[in-house]
A and B are shown apart, each in its own frame.
Chain A
Amino acid sequence: MSDIHPLVERPPRSVVAVVGVLLVVAPLVLPSFQTYLLTEVLALALFATGFNLLYGYTGLLSFGHAMFFGTAGYTVGIFMRDVAPGLGLGGATPLVGFLIAGVLGVLVAVAVAVPVGYLSVRLEEIYFAMITLSFSMALYVLAIQNYLGLTNGSDGFSVILGTATLGGFDLALYDRVTYYYLTLLVVAPAMYLLWRIVRSPFGLVSEAIRENAERTGALGVGVRTHRWAAFVVSALFTGVAGVLIAPLHGSLSPGANLHWSISAEPVIITVFGGPYTFIGPTIGAFFFEYIRWGITQFPVLEAHWQLIFGTLILGIVLFAPRGVSGFVSWVVSRATGGESA
């Protein structure tokens, strides 16, 4: 919204550059587990930013984004388990196999989103949240019941990356640092694309729809078609995040990839970070991940992580509806002494 400070909404190039350098250098100095956490932050940031294209920018709260996250992940897992080993590309097989699996995963997420989106965007507000919830829960039940014999029911199955040999050089894809850079190579351009999308006429129309759908329609915009398009684009990026998480976690299961509590994750992250800035969900992902990790460092806190998260969300909804980015923006505008834009 307009009361976000410009330094937060459009950070100067120097800040972006510093953050970029930090992200590239980080795994070289961080301990292995911290690299893993940072990889997860990147994937979650993409998950939540993709989700927020629909929520913060278009004004539709999806409570079923796990269906794209999960179907993309499951596609990766199934392809890598059943198809990739037989590709016969020599040393390049593990890498090429994963890349094909990833592309297929995103395509499947989009293929799910096209019909589901068409049916869902006819509804708004609570009804939209409810229909996306029911679609994702139907997929959740299908994965548990294992009707096609592909998902191994509620136990799920594991996703293991191999070691690729390229020109005599071994690349262990499962290595945390390697996988971090692979993730960064995907997430950075994806985030840039998303940034371009929200800045484009497409993104501006989305915001207009969020603010007043009726008036935007009267200006000649096909509101339903536009929402449908935003839905599919949002699912596409969510699918990319789902692809990246599957081998990072090393396993897939209905509970960890398709359950409604997974759909709640980008909601929580976005509420944390603030839905009305581009960077909000990324800041949210950072906080979400490190609070979650911080909690596990203390058994007393770990036993009560729900209480901690619940209280945080409650506090943010009641006192800081624009999330951490809104708060940062307030601090920046106070510090710079200027009025907020």
Chain B
Amino acid sequence: MTAGLPIQEILTGLSIGSRLFLVALGLSLIFGVLGVLNFAHGAFYMVGAYATASIVGAAGGNFWVAAVGAALTVGLLGAVVEFGLIRRIYDRNELDQLILTFALVLIISDLTRTIWGSGTQTVETPAAFAGNVPVLGVSFPAYRLFVIVVAFLAMGVFWYVLTRTYVGQLVRATSSDRDMAALLGVDVPRLYTGVFAVGSVLAGLGGALTTPIQSFTPALGDQVIINAFVVVVIGGLGSFTGAFVGAMLIGLFQSFGVLVATGVNQLLPFLAMILVLIFRPEGLFGGEEL
């Protein structure tokens, strides 16, 4: 290990953060535009992981086909959920929406166990990224490096789409004033379904990319949703820069926390969330427009 920066811990932290970022970005996007805090987002992530495992089997071991297929499957699931259920209660308060999506957590977890069983699932690392590569003087798993690159790419793509394209303008306009956007001719319900589906695709992609790194059970969704809440609250609900910084921060907490004392890596995210809510409730990057 080189003297100075603990490169290994930083890379590990970024790799954990990158996976969290994908799921938190979707959560934050949905909250920012629709105003719904989707409790079922972790369950979507879990479905992404399971769908990947199934499609890998069916697609003769091709991980890439499986990851894309899983992300799209979850996107479709999201569109159906938005269209069939959440749309019916947009005029109700946020708490009803939170409770409705909590009901979905129970339903999706149950169906997942019914379809795939409650055993542990694993997916092999795609051949192209098997093994380690040298980075800044340390040897780091190539696949984890790839996930970090994907997260940075996703951040770039979202920044570009939201700030530089027409669709992005419509999304931002609807986010800041739904009624005015509707009056100006934006098809708000369709846009909502679209945004919810895209947010779900991100959850599914996060789940898919996680499968080669960790084995998983139907408890995966519960583990991830609490971390995703922490990330978006720290970063600022609705802020995608915030989701990025929050995710990387939590990732680094996890990788460095274990060095301090056992359990500190689990405790730090909640303490950080409490501190942020006390001193800057809108989040580190909250209050800015999408």
Contact = CB atoms under 8 A, between A and B. Distances in A.
Interface of A: 55, 61, 119, 122-123, 125-127, 129-131, 133-135, 137-138, 141-142, 144-145, 147, 260-261, 264, 267, 271, 304-307, 309-311, 313-314, 317-318, 321
B141 interface: no
A38 to B, nearest CB: 25
Given A126-B237, A267-B102, A271-B99, 6 more contacts: A122-B281, A138-B271, A314-B107, A317-B89, A317-B96, A321-B96
A307 B230 contact: no
A123 B277 contact: yes
A144 B270 CA distance: 14
Nearest to A133: B229
Interface string B90-111: 0011111011101111110111
A138 B103 contact: no
Given A307-B107, A318-B88, A119 B267 contact: no
Contacts of A318: 85, 88-89, 100
A131 B274 contact: yes
Given A126-B94, A134-B273, A311 B103 contact: yes
B128 interface: no
A137 B273 CA distance: 11
- Classify the interface of chain B: helix, strand, loop or mixed: helix
Nearest to A127: B281
Interface size class of B (residues with CB under 8 A): 35 or more
Nearest to A137: B270
15 contacts: A123-B277, A125-B94, A125-B95, A126-B94, A126-B237, A134-B270, A134-B273, A134-B277, A135-B270, A138-B270, A138-B274, A267-B102, A307-B110, A314-B85, A317-B103
A317 B281 CA distance: 28
Given A61-B95, A123-B277, A318-B88, A311 B271 contact: no
A314 B103 contact: yes
A321 to B, nearest CB: 7
Contacts of A141: 263, 266-267, 270
B106 A142 contact: no
- Which 3 pairs from chain A and chain B are nearest by CB? A310-B106, A145-B263, A310-B107
A311 B281 CA distance: 33
B279 to A, nearest CB: 10
A104 to B, nearest CB: 25
Contacts of A133: 226, 229
Nearest to B264: A145
Nearest to A130: B233
A307 B105 CA distance: 9
B278 interface: yes
Contacts of B14: none
A310 B96 contact: no
Contact of A310 (B88, B89, B105, B281): B105
Given A134-B230, A138-B267, A306 B96 contact: no
B2 interface: no
Given A134-B270, A317-B96, A306 B107 contact: yes
Contacts of B92: 321
A123 B281 contact: yes
Nearest to B92: A321
Contacts of B114: 304, 307
Interface string B257-286: 000001100110011011001100100000
